[in-house]
Every structure is written in C-alpha cells, then in structure tokens.
Amino acid sequence: MIVDIKGVRKLYQSPEGEIGALDDITFSIEEGEFISIVGPSGCGKSTLLSIIAGLEAPSGGEICVDGSPIRGINPKIGYMPQKDQLFPWRTIWDNVTLGLEVQGRRDQSHQEFVKRLLARYGLAQFTGCVPGQLSGGMRQRCALIRTLATGPRILLLDEPFSALDYQTRLSVADDIYRIIKNEGKTAILVTHDIAEAVSMSDRVAVLSARPGRLKEIVDQPELHGLDPMRRRDHEMFHHYFNRIWKEIDISA
C-alpha cells in the first residue's frame, strides 16, 4: 500500500465547544489505485483530503505514505484544488512551471519533462497563451500538468470539475482520468457527484454525516480498466450508483 489512513479524527474548536469533523477513519490505498471519497455535505471529505495533503494535522490517528507518517507538506503528494487557480497574467508555460519555479527546480531536465507532458496532452501550441484564451477543459488539463510537473506519486483532487458545465465536465473527467492512468499515478478524488465517483474510481469510500465515519468502501471490479464514458454505458454502473446513493441518503 502507498497510503495508510489509521484511526484519523479531526476536531475543531468553536464558541459552543468541540465540533467533530471526522471520527476513526481507517482504510488503505494501493499504488496506482484511483479512489473517490463521497458523503453528505459537511461530512469532512475535503478535511480528510487536507490532512492527507499535510495542510492540516489530525486530532488523532495518523496517515502514512510509504510507511512514514505525514508531517506537513510531502513532495510525494500533489494537490489539485476545486478551481484551476491559473494566474491570468502569466502564460500557460509560466503557469504550468510555477511549482518548479517555487521549488527552485526549473532546470533543463524538468522543463523538458513539462514540454513532453504538454505535447502528449495537446497543449504544446498554447504555451504562449494566457488562461483566458483557453477553454475550461484545457485549463483543467493545464492545472493537472502543473501538478504533475513536480513529480508527485499521489494526486489529490478536490472537486476539480465542479466549476464546469455538465457537458464539459464529462469530457474533462475523461481527459483527467486518462492522463492519471497514463502517468501511473495514485489518485484520491473528493466529489459530491456519485456518478462521477463511479465513473472514475476503482473503489469509492462512503462517509457518514458529520462527524464523518467510514460507512463502506465499494469496489467496482466490473468497471476496472474502462474509461469514464464507457463506464456510464455499462450495465453495472447504475447498480453501483444506487448502492452508494442509498448509503449516502441513509446517513444524511
């Protein structure tokens, strides 16, 4: 396993006292696996992602990557937020190499790697453009390439398609899934969209209402190896959708 989540709890302080966000979350993620986390609004999905990213510390339990506990930001982990967060005044090239620039790693070998990614995923001719000249889908691909540029093994995706219209969302989800699988990355997706979770994931972790507890991890063996659009046409798609929806509906 590459990620091991062991008894994670998260408490926040408020004027009324402690508020529980997560309670005793335990599961593991294998190398190269794509797993989604779903649950009712406010159940702590994004909080769990922030703890994995090292942006927040758990109140109890721990998360290990390759057997070592996470203590702050980890270079093995890349984070892709809800919006593409591309700087509108910077060119696409300067945006996708921003992480390398911050880390002081914008050397020739890393720049060549980014050029290969841009060429591989149809963006090489847009390096001199600014984000406002690109479609929403192309901007999301740029955001993912910016994350991949620093060489993480694990990608954290926090509702990365939520700002897109439905049709674009379907197309971009297909693109992002293909890129992640082609690059052999482990991915953890947080989403409110059950159909999105079923269409992209090897397994889906279902959390209860706050404080979030792990209700079930749903494996989808019949859908493994299929891209998101093909999964939506598979006879088992609605079976898994309904199973997960029922768990979330009961917990809400």
AA letter at 112: E
Res 251: pLDDT = 45
User: Please, are residues 23 and 213 in contact by the beta-carbon 8 Å criterion?
Assistant: yes
User: Please, are residues 51 and 8 in contact by the beta-carbon 8 Å criterion?
Assistant: yes
Res 169: pLDDT = 84
- Crossing angle for the helix pair 108-120 and 136-148, nearest 10 degrees? 150
The CATH code that applies to domain 1-76+186-252 is: 3.40.50.300
Res 13: pLDDT = 84
Separation CA 161–CA 163 (nearest Å): 6
E strand residue ranges, the chain: 3-14, 17-29, 34-38, 60-65, 68-69, 77-80, 154-158, 186-190, 203-207, 214-219
Res 1: pLDDT = 67
The low-confidence residues of the chain, meaning pLDDT below 70, are: 1, 249-252
DSSP sequence for 71-138: -S--TTEEEE-SS----TTS-HHHHHTHHHHHHT--SHHHHHHHHHHHHHTT-GGGTTS-GGGS-HHH
Res 249: pLDDT = 61
